[in-house]
């Protein structure tokens, strides 16, 4: 399996001092920062948009290699994922992870390559993200079966294949929710089919739940409240990493 990547979610950071929270978190040993973007439409909560990403970017060195330390992993919980790709690229995002459910439901009026039925195909969107010089991720809500991804991951056109899959282990929208172990069969199925795939899990990950996720085959670990609520975030980050690497 690919290497362990620990990606604290800054959703649980102090938004009044976000720049420092970001640089501190990298100092505590995090590989990436997981940046939760919510539009109050795809999910029943709002966070922030590209201007805030632009302001926090200088607090964390840009990764020197693709997927390296300092990667901004932007989890786009938004109804119109295609619309914001260029802005997030400009803001300093490295990995643009959109929701499968948003792509297939998008009305796409503003989207240049919209097909006649006004839907953006996930493959088209992945290619578009790659064309902008970003890495692409595709996320699944708990209710979406994993097999919708097989046709996408099996594409013979390399530009249409995502660099990461995100299996949500809570309903997206809020930090601090309970981990859903019944999502693990999705992770297991993906790991079995795609030994080299980056598989991210997000929601309710902590020292208590990490073993289940790691055993299923997840290698990219998001943790919000567990890291930012800890007395010693570096210890939590180290323990999460150890569990994936063991």
Catalytic positions, written as ranges: 36, 202
206-235 residues in contact with ligand DX5 (CB under 6 A) are 222-226
Q: Among 4, 5, 12, 165, which residue sits at the site for ligand DX5 (rule: CB under 6 A)?
A: 12
Look-up: residue for tokens 């997030």?
A: 88
Please count the other Cβ atoms lying within 10 Å of the Cβ belonging to residue 24: 16
42-101 residues in contact with Zn ion (CB under 5 A) are 75
DSSP class of 105: H
Q: Return the one option of Zn ion, ligand DX5, none that residue 241 interacts with (CB less than 5 to 8 A, by type).
A: none
Distance of CA 114 to the CA centre of its chain: 24
Per-residue binding letters, 145-174, with ligand DX5 (x by CB under 6 A): -------------------------x-xxx
Q: Among 92, 137, 175, 217, which residue sits at the site for ligand DX5 (rule: CB under 6 A)?
A: 175
Strand extents, DSSP E, the chain: 5-8, 32-38, 71-77, 95-99, 135-140, 164-168, 198-202, 220-223
| CB 11 to ligand DX5: min, Å | 4
| CB 168 to ligand DX5: min, Å | 7
Q: Largest Cα–Cα distance in the chain? A: 53
Taking the least distance from each CB to ligand DX5, the nearer of 118 and 178 is: 178
Residue 202 touches Zn ion, criterion: CB under 5 A: yes
Residue 202 touches ligand DX5, criterion: CB under 6 A: yes
Please count the other Cβ atoms lying within 10 Å of the Cβ belonging to residue 141: 18
User: Where does this chain touch ligand DX5 (CB under 6 A) — which range of 23-31, 50-58, 201-209, 232-240?
Assistant: 201-209
Distances (CA, A) of 243 to 3, 134, 184, 215, 246: 12, 29, 16, 9, 5
67-126 residues in contact with ligand DX5 (CB under 6 A) are 75
| Cα separation, 201 vs 242, whole angstroms | 16
User: Where does this chain touch Zn ion (CB under 5 A) — which range of 51-59, 105-113, 184-192, 195-203?
Assistant: 195-203
29-68 residues in contact with ligand DX5 (CB under 6 A) are 34, 36
Look-up: residue for tokens 């099996």?
A: 154
Structure tokens at 80: 């119109």
DSSP class of 68: -
Ordered DSSP codes for 106-137: ---TT-TT--TTS---HHHHHHHHHHTT-EEE
| CB 129 to ligand DX5: min, Å | 19
| CB 109 to ligand DX5: min, Å | 26
| Cα separation, 3 vs 244, whole angstroms | 8
Residues making contact with Zn ion (CB under 5 A): 36, 75, 202
Please give the residue ranges that form the binding site for ligand DX5 (CB under 6 A). 9, 11-12, 34, 36, 75, 170, 172-177, 202-205, 222-226
């Amino acid at each position: 399996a690919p290497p362990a990547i620990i990606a604290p979610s800054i959703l649980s950071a102090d938004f009044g001092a976000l720049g420092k929270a970001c640089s501190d978190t990298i100092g505590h040993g995090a590989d990436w920062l997981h940046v939760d973007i919510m539009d109050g439409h795809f999910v029943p909560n709002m966070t922030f948009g590209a201007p805030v990403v632009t302001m926090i970017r200088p607090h964390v060195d840009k990764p020197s290699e693709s997927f390296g330390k300092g990667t901004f992993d932007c989890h786009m919980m938004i109804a119109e994922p295609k619309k914001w790709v260029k802005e997030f690229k400009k803001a300093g995002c490295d990995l643009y992870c959109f929701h499968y459910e948003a792509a297939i439901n998008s009305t796409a009026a503003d989207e240049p390559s919209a097909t006649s039925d006004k839907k953006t195909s996930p493959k088209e969107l992945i290619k578009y993200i790659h064309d902008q010089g970003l890495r692409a991720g595709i996320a699944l809500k708990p209710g979406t079966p994993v097999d919708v991804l097989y046709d996408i991951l099996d594409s013979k056109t390399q530009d249409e294949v995502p660099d990461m899959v995100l299996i949500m282990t809570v309903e997206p929208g809020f930090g601090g929710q309970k981990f859903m172990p019944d999502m693990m069969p999705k992770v297991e199925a993906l790991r079995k089919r795609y030994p080299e795939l980056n598989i991210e899990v997000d929601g309710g990950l902590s020292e208590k739940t990490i073993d289940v996720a790691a055993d299923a085959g997840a290698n990219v670990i998001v943790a919000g409240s567990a890291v930012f609520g800890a007395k010693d975030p570096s210890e939590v980050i180290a323990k999460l990493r150890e569990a994936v690497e063991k």
